[in-house]
Structure 1
Amino acid sequence: MAGGDELKLLGSWLSPFATRVKLALTLKGLRYENVEEDLSNKSELLRSSNPVHKKVPVLIHNGAPVCESTIILQYIDEAFADIGPSLLPSDPHQRAVARFWAAYIDDKLVIPWVRSFRGKTEEEKSEWMEQTFIAVEALEGALRECAKGKGFFGGDNVGLVDVVLGSLLTWVHATEVMSGTKMFDPSKTPLLATWMERFDELAAAKAVMPDVNRMVEFKTRQAQAISVAAASQRQ
C-alpha cells in the first residue's frame, strides 16, 4: 500500500464501473485488496459502505468508503496526487472538459446502450442503439479535440476520459462477437477505432480488463435463462 495506506475495492468482474477503479489504481501503481461481491447476495460490508445505493464499486481508503466510479477516480487522483500519472490535467478548463466528457459517456452512451439490450421490441432496441451511435460520433469529435493529434483523450498519457471509456471495451468487444455490431467502426469513427487498439495494448488494461470470452459466455447464458423464463410465463 502507498505510504501505509490501506485500499480495499468492493466490486464485481462484470461491472465496468468497478473496472474503471481497477484501471485507475493500476495506472497509479497502487496496491489494493480486491473484494469480489456477489451482486445477488450483497455483503454487509457493501451495504454499510454504500447505504444509499448499495452498489459497486466502493473504494475503502483507510476505513473510509468512497462511492460512485467517477467520483472514486477523481478521489484517487487527488488523494494520491504525488504518486503515478495524473488522470486530470492541471489546467482548470481542461479539467472541466474532461469531467464533462466523462459524464457524457455515462449519460449519453452507457444508458442508451444498456437499454438497447433490454428493449421489449426490435424497434425499441433499434431506437436506443441509434442514440448510442449518436454518442459514439460525438466522442469521435471529442477525441479529436482533446487529443490534438496525440494518442489519448488525455494527450500523451491516459486521462480520466480514457479510463471511463476504456473500462467499457470488454463489453464493446463482446457486443461485436455476439451481434456483429461494431461500436467503434474504423470506417465511421477511425480515431476511436485506433484509440481502442492503443488502449487494449496498455499494460494496465491487460492486467485488469475482464476476459472477452468469459463475458460472451456469461451474457449468452444470461440471455438463454431470460428466454426460458419468458417462455414459461407465456405458457
Structure 2
Amino acid sequence: MADAVKLYGVAGSPYVCRVKIALNLKQVKYDFYVEDLSNKSADLLKYNPVHKKIPVLVHNEKPISESLVIVEYIDEAWKGVSILPHDAYDKAQARFWAKFVDEKCIPALYKGIGSHGRAVEEAHEQLQFLENELNVKGSKFFGGDNINLVDIAASFIAFWLGAAEEVIGVKVMPKDKFPKLTEWSDNYVNCQAVKDGLPPRESIVGFFKMRFGKA
C-alpha cells in the first residue's frame, strides 16, 4: 500500500517550503492542506497540539512538526538522494550550520530588512559566516555538488530576501560583498526540485509590500 503523506501549511512560508523541497528531492507524492492561520483547522491542532504551528507532516497518520526535524525525517524515511551527509562529523556540521541559519542568520536578516544602519551591519556579520563557509567548501552548494540540509535551511536567504530587498530598496546582501552567497542563491533557486517547492515570487513581493506599508 502506498504511503499516505499530508503536509499542512501555507504556500508562502519559507519553513513550509523547506518541507516541500525535501519531499521533491525524494520524489515523494503528498497532499497539501492550506491552513488559515487566523482560524487553524482541527487537524492542525490535533497533529501539533504543543506548538499549534505549521508546517506539520503526517506520514501514515503519524505527525512530525518543526521544519528541520521534518526534513531530517524525510531523509531517513525515504530512499533517494541524501539530504544529510553519511559521515558522522559532516552530519554534525550540517546540523550546526542549519541551526546557525535559524537562530542567528534569519533573525538578523528580518531586523535588517525592517530597519537600517546597525541592523544591516549585524545581518552582514551573520551572512559573512555563510560566505566564508562557501569559500572554504569551494562548491556549488553547502552540501557540495548536491543540495543538503543547510541549503534547505537557508531557503529564506535564496528567495525571500531578494523579494524583501526589492520592496525596501536596500540590498541587505549586496553581490560585491557576498559573491559566493549570491552565486549559491542563483544555483539553488534554479534547481527544479526547489522551483517546484517555492511560491510565485510576486506573491512574496506582495506580502512584503503589505508588511512595509508599500502596497
Q: Tell me the amino acid that sits aligned with residue 148 of structure 2.
A: G
Structure 2 gaps of 5+ residues are none
Mapped pair 1:134 → 2:125: yes
The 5 A counterparts of 1:91-170 are 91-116=87-112, 126-145=117-136, 148-170=137-159
Q: Tell me the amino acid that sits aligned with residue 179 of structure 1.
A: I
Report the Cα distance in structure 1 between the residues aligned to 2:2 and 2:207, rounded to whole angstroms: 38
Deviates more, 1:125-134 or 1:209-218: 125-134
Structure 1 segments (4+ residues) deviating >6 Å: none
> What's the CA shift string for 1:13-70, capped at 9, x where partnerless?
1210000000000011111111111111111111111111111000001001100001
Q: TM-score when scaled to structure 2? A: 0.92
Aligned length: 215
1:84 aligned to 62, 80, 86, which one?
80
Describe the shift of the 1:5–1:29 C-alpha distance in structure 2 as closer, same or farther (beyond 3 A).
same
Cα pair 2:109 2:120 within 8 Å, conserved: yes
Match of 1:223 in 2: 212
Describe the shift of the 1:137–1:34 C-alpha distance in structure 2 as closer, same or farther (beyond 3 A).
same
Shift in Å at residue 218 of structure 1? 2.5
Report the Cα distance in structure 2 between the residues aligned to 1:43 and 1:14, rounded to whole angstroms: 18
Tell me the SS of whatever aligns to 1:10.
strand
Q: TM-score when scaled to structure 1? A: 0.85
Q: Greater RCO between the two (CA within 8 Å, min separation 6)?
A: 2
Cα pair 1:7 1:60 within 8 Å, conserved: yes
Higher normalized helix content (fraction of residues):
1
Structure 1 gaps of 5+ residues are 228-235
Shift in Å at residue 117 of structure 1? 5.1
Match of 1:75 in 2: 73
Tell me the SS of whatever aligns to 1:42.
coil
Cα pair 1:173 1:212 within 8 Å, conserved: no
